[in-house]
Structure 1
Amino acid sequence: MTRAEDGGERIGAAELAYRAIRKRIFSGRYAENERVTEAEFAESLAMSRTPVREAVKRLILEGLLTREAGPGLRVVGLGADEIEQIFAMRLLLESYAARRAAGFASAEERATLADLALQMQAHVPPRNDADYEAITEANRAFHQLILTAARSPRLEAMLSLVVNLGLVSLTFKSYDEAAIRRSAAHHREIADAILAGDPDWAGAAMQTHLHAATAAARRNFGS
């Protein structure tokens, strides 16, 4: 195991490589359409190829990298139409997931969702990169837990191909204070609806949340 630099959390080498490469993509260190290789990643991170290879697989699934001919990789840029498609599919699939979660989530899962919503609110308004990262991670865990609580492996598999974590992170960073407060409030309402076991409320709250996220993406990434 390897100790991460932030917070003393113990994580595996593949997870550490994944976080480091993803952070560099988000920060612009690797530009859109830049060509890179696993060997270059491994050398820059002072790691072996094995954990880097695992990290690259995850980043390809998230849509942040794409495989080129031979050993090459390319940093992916998202066009306006692709962004529109991502949010349209999320709107359909995640609202359904929220409805199912309201019916199938365990008491522990409902409590964890409420806690994650509070974690997001604790970092609002974000004042630095650490706050943005904390919000992004709480958001990722929140939406993933809803998928788990929906008790539908097929739905979970479909959404894993749709959700682009890089786009989610960049969307958060484009929000003004009012928008990010609204997003945090949406998460709290979704958690409340699932806690109450109300599928209609949960689905509607998720739709409201994703409509707002879609509007933000259109404003900031062009549509």
Structure 2
Amino acid sequence: MAKATEGSERVGAAEQAYLAIRKQIFSGHFSENERITEAEFAKSLQMSRTPIREAVKQLLLEGLLTRDAGPGLRVVDLGADEIEQIFQIRLRLESYAAQRAAGLATKAECDELQTLAKRMQAHVPPRDEADYRAITEANGAFHNLILIASRSPRLEAMLSLVVNLALVARTFHNYDETAIRRSAAHHIEIADAICAGDPDWARVAMQTHLHAAASNAREGFRFAGSCSGCS
């Protein structure tokens, strides 16, 4: 029994380490291409090396970390083609999730979707880093709630990586005022469509939102490529 308990605790610690490192990567805590060692992860999270090692294995499989020439691990730099693929996956699967959610979301979930959409809108246009953080957090919660409301664990598992939000967190800073207002308005419409119980409207609203987000991401890469040294 003691051995079984010890094993369960080890799995739990590895999961905690995985989620913590993944959150750091997605939040932009580490720069893309930044190098870091397992020992540094362990020190920052105040954990032993064993769960860190297990977490790193999973993050290597997911492509968020890589081992190549040079010391330690490297945080993967998502290139333009990879970003495009992420948006295309979201376009196909997340619009289906919104379509399903329109027929399955509870009243409590609908109320929360509308609350999150209004919270985003309340911080637009963003005036400081706190506004960007509030928009990013509400956006992540909004999209995750749609996955939950879709009542499809398989769909939720398929989208869990690409819908997160590092990508969203990074691209919000590239939005001009018109684009960020448009994004906030899209969230209001998506919530309205789901809460109205209209699957077709919800699907089209989500597709429109993701097409606009993908276009903005492409603009961000073009701008970065033409502006050497810009941050």
State the TM-score, normalizing by the size of structure 2. Answer: 0.78
Larger Rg: 2
Match of 2:163 in 1: 163
Deviation at 1:17? Answer: 4.7
Distance in structure 2 (CA, Å) of the matches to 1:17 and 1:112:
25
- Asked if 1:49 corresponds to 2:48, the answer is yes
Assess, with a 3 A threshold, how the Cα gap between structure 1 residues 46 and 145 changes in structure 2: closer, same or farther.
closer
- Asked if 1:90 corresponds to 2:90, the answer is yes
Match of 1:103 in 2: 103
Distance in structure 1 (CA, Å) of the matches to 2:144 and 2:21:
18
Stretch moving more, 73-82 or 181-190: 73-82
- Asked if 1:21 corresponds to 2:15, the answer is no
Give the 3-state SS of the residue equivalent to 1:142 in structure 2.
Answer: helix
Distance in structure 1 (CA, Å) of the matches to 2:90 and 2:67:
27
- Once the two structures are superposed, the pairs formed by residues 64-213 of structure 1 within 5 Å of their partners are 65-68=64-67, 72-213=72-213
Deviation at 1:129? Answer: 1.4
Distance in structure 2 (CA, Å) of the matches to 1:180 and 1:61:
33
- Unaligned 5+ segments in structure 2 are 1-15, 226-231
**Count of residue correspondences:** 205
Residue type of the alignment partner of 1:179: A
- Check whether the contact 1:22–1:59 (CA below 8 A) recurs between aligned residues: no
Match of 1:4 in 2: none
Assess, with a 3 A threshold, how the Cα gap between structure 1 residues 155 and 201 changes in structure 2: closer, same or farther.
same
Give the 3-state SS of the residue equivalent to 2:213 in structure 1.
Answer: helix
Give the 3-state SS of the residue equivalent to 1:21 in structure 2.
Answer: helix
Give percent identity, aligned residues only.
67
- Check whether the contact 2:140–2:164 (CA below 8 A) recurs between aligned residues: no
Deviation at 1:158? Answer: 0.9
Match of 1:9 in 2: none
Deviation at 1:127? Answer: 1.3
Give the 3-state SS of the residue equivalent to 1:132 in structure 2.
Answer: helix
Assess, with a 3 A threshold, how the Cα gap between structure 1 residues 182 and 156 changes in structure 2: closer, same or farther.
same
- Unaligned 5+ segments in structure 1 are 1-12
Distance in structure 1 (CA, Å) of the matches to 2:199 and 2:66:
40
